[in-house]
Amino acid sequence: MATRELAGKIVQVDDQGFMTDPTQWDRDIARAIAVEEGLSDLTEAHWKLIDWARETARGSNWRSPTLRQITKGTAISTKELFSLFPKTPAKKAARIAGLDRPEGCA
C-alpha cells in the first residue's frame, strides 16, 4: 500500500487515493481531501453526511455506503446530494470520510 501526507499526517491510501485504514482519519484530513475534491468549505450538511457515512461504515466492516444507501439513510435527496458533492457524490463523500471506494463506483 502507498502512503501520502494529508493535513500533516502520513496515511495509507490505495492507487485511487482512498484511505485504506479509516481509523487514521480525522476532520483535518477530511478538510484536506475536500479541498482536493474542489470543496473548499464543508458545511454542517456536509458533516452530517460524512459523520453518517462513517458511522454506517463502522457497522459494516468499514464498507462505504452506496448512493442509494445514502439517500435512504439520510433522507437527503439525490439532487441535494449532487449539490453537496458534485458529479460523483457517493465517491467524493466516501473519500472525504476516509472510507474505501463505494461498490459500483468507477
**Catalytic: 46?**
no
> Mutual orientation of helices 89-96 and 44-58 as an angle, nearest 10°?
80
**DSSP secondary-structure letter at 17?**
S
Q: How far lies 69's CA from each of 3, 38, 40, 99, in Å?
A: 29, 24, 25, 15
| Gap between the Cα atoms of 9 and 103, Å rounded | 27
Q: How many CB atoms lie within 10 A of CB 58?
A: 13
Active-site residue numbers?
105
